[in-house]
Amino acid sequence: MKLRKSLWLFLCLTLVMSLFLAACSGGGDKTSGEDDPKEEEQVKEEEPANNEPVDGGDLIVGSAGSPTLFNPYFSTDTASSDIEGLIYNAIVKTNVNLETEYDLAEDIQTSEDGLEYTVKLREDVKWHDGEQMDADDLVFAYSMMKNPDVVSERKSNFESLEKIEKIDQFTVKFTLNKVDVTFYPTTLGSYGPLPEHILGDVDPATLHEHEFNTKSPIGTGPFKFVEWKDGEYVKVEANDDYFEGRPHLDSITTRYVADANALIAALQAGEIDMYNAVPGTEIETVKAIEGTKIEEGLALSYTFLAFNQQDERFQDKRVRQAMTHAIDKNAIVESIMNGAGQAANAPDSPLMWTYNDDVPQFDYDPEKAKALLKEAGWEDTNGNGIVDKDGKELSFSVKTNQGNKVREDIAVVLQQQLKEIGVEATPNIVEWSAFIEQISAPNWDYEAMILGWSLSTFPDQYDIFHSSQREEGLNFVWYSNPEADKLMEEARQTTDIEKYKQIHKDLYQILVEDQAYTYLYYPTEFRAMPEELQGYEFHSKNQLFNAHKWWLQPAE
C-alpha cells in the first residue's frame, strides 16, 4: 500500500522538521600524582581505545518526583514515564531533532486514504522474562484501550481506532474510523505492546490497579525492572537480550528526594550522580562540584497556573484574565529562575512548528486586573482586603508539588502578587504522587494549581483542552469551549500542514483569550551529570534518552 501524496508530505514534514529546535557509582574516582612522561606518551597512543564504549558501572539519578506506576497506558506523570522509557518500547520513537524513527516497527505502510496502518514488527524482540514479543501482544494492548471496562485517562489517543487485526505473527493492521494525523506520531509513538501471556487473563476493569504496574512490570526495553521502594528509589538493570544490544551501564537507580536543596546536597556529597532539573539559581553551585558537567537546552514543556473551573468563582473568564494580569511572569523568570527560561503566552513550545505568539496579550497590569474583577462583580465590600461576590471571597489555595523549588517559590510569589488585587492565594505544597492523585479524575481536589506539561513531539491540544476529556481524561481543569472543541476535532483530521498550522493559530486565539490556563513560562533545563558520562545526547523531552548508549569513561 502507498501513502497518498498529500498525507505523505504532511507526515514527512511534521516528523522530519528539525529546524524548530531552538527529570555515578562505579565511575571511579580520579586520582592525582606526579606526572610520568612515559605514562603520558602511552596515554596519548592509547587514547582512541579509550573513546570506545566500556561496559559496567551503576548510575544514580536524583529526582524530586516519585512515580505512581509503570505502565504507559495508565500513568499520567513524568516521574513514571521516565522509568517507563527504560522498561518499554513503542512502535516508533523520536530522536533529538524530534524526527520520528522506527522502534519496534520494522516497516509501516499506510493506505492511500490514511485510514489503515499496517505495521511489521521486528522479529528479534523478547520480553524481559524471555518470551517472544509478537503481534498478539500489540493486538492485546490496543484492544484493551477500546474496552469500556478499562479505566484510563489515556483513552482519547485511541478514539479514532476502529479495529486492530493480526495479519500474521509479526504483522498488525490498524483501521481508523476517521483520518487522525496524531495516530502515527503520538499513539504509535507512545504505546507499544503489553505481554498478553501475563495480562491476558486479568479482569479489564482491574488492569489499572494490577500489581504488574507497580511490582513486576515486564517490558521489551533496554533495562529490566528490579525494585521500587516507594518514596525512596527505583532500580533497573541491563537487559542482556535487548534487541539493540546490551546497555553499557549495569544499572540505573533513580533516588527520590523531596527537597530540591537536598538534591543539590546529595549531588555535592556524591550520593547521586545525575540531577536533571537543576534550578537556574543553583547553576554556579553545581558547576563548582568536582567531576560534574552540565548539559542545557530549552525543554519541550511549559509551566502553568490553572483554576478548577468546576468552582463557579473561576468560570468567568474575566476572573481568570484578571489573575494573569496580576502576575509578573518576566519577574518570575528573572528572579526565581535566574533567567533560565522565557515567559509563556500560549499552550505550545517555541520548539514546535505550530508555535506562534500572535495571541491576545495579558501583560502584567494590576490595575487592569482590578478593573476586570470589578466588572465581573468582585469587590471588597467588608474592607478586609479580599474581594468578594455573593457572600463568597476570592480566597483559595494554590496546590503544587513538593521538591520542585521553582514551583514552590512561584506559589509564594503568586500569593504576594495576587494580594495586590485583593485575592488571597495560599500555597499548598504536596508530595508529588499524592498531588497527581488529588488533581486527577475523579478527585479534582484542588482550587488552583501550578503544574507543567511535557508536550508531545507532535502538537495536539485535544487531550488537554477538549471538553470530552473532562470526566475521565486530562482536562482536569474542566475547561470547555464549543468553538475550541470543533477546531481540535478538525485539526486531527487535517492532512495539509499549512491548514493544520492555521487551525492551531485560530485555536490558540481562543485558548489564550479564555485563559484556559495562565501560561507562565517555557523552562531552560539544566542537567547535571558525571564528567565521565559518555554517549549522552540532550533531548528536549526525554531526560533519559538513549540511556542504553551511555557509558562511563574509566579514570586514567
pLDDT, one tens digit per residue, over 130-165 is 999 999 999 999 999 999 999 999 999 999 999 999
Could you give the residue ranges of the DSSP H alpha helices within 432-515? 432-439, 462-465, 482-492, 497-513
Query: Residue 291: enclosing H or E segment and its boundaries?
Result: none
Phi, psi of 80 (to 5 degrees): -75, -45
Smallest CA-to-CA distance from 554 within 529, 526, 531, 527 is with: 531
Averaged confidence pLDDT in the chain: 90
Q: Using DSSP, state whether 153 is helix, strand or coil.
A: coil
Q: What is the pLDDT of residues 457-512, one digit of tens each?
A: 899 999 999 999 999 889 999 999 999 999 999 999 999 999 999 999 999 999 99
**Mean predicted confidence (pLDDT) in 302-307:** 98
Q: Do 79 and 220 contact (CB within 8 A), yes or no?
A: no
pLDDT of residue 50: 58
Alpha-carbon span 192 to 157, nearest angstrom: 13
Banded pLDDT at 259 (limits 50, 70, 90): confident
- Strand 424-430 to 395-401 pairing: parallel
Q: Do 507 and 499 contact (CB within 8 A), yes or no?
A: no
Smallest CA-to-CA distance from 121 within 173, 62, 161 is with: 173
Distances (CA, A) of 522 to 272, 297, 324, 519: 27, 11, 16, 9
Distances (CA, A) of 430 to 153, 258, 452: 22, 10, 15
pLDDT tops 90 at residue 233: yes
Three-state SS across 483-496? HHHHHHHHHHCCCC
| Higher local confidence (pLDDT), 196 or 432 | 196
Q: What is the pLDDT of residues 31-71, one digit of tens each?
A: 222 233 223 233 333 343 457 899 999 999 999 888 999 99
Say which residues have a Cβ less than 8 Å from residue 7's Cβ, sequence separation at least 6.
110, 114, 179, 181, 495
pLDDT of residue 199: 98
pLDDT of residue 278: 93
pLDDT of residue 356: 87
pLDDT of residue 357: 84
Q: Using DSSP, state whether 474 is helix, strand or coil.
A: coil
Q: Using DSSP, state whether 397 is helix, strand or coil.
A: strand
pLDDT of residue 2: 34
Q: What share of the chain in percent tops pLDDT 90?
A: 85
pLDDT of residue 60: 98
| Number of CB atoms found within 10 A of residue 335's CB | 13
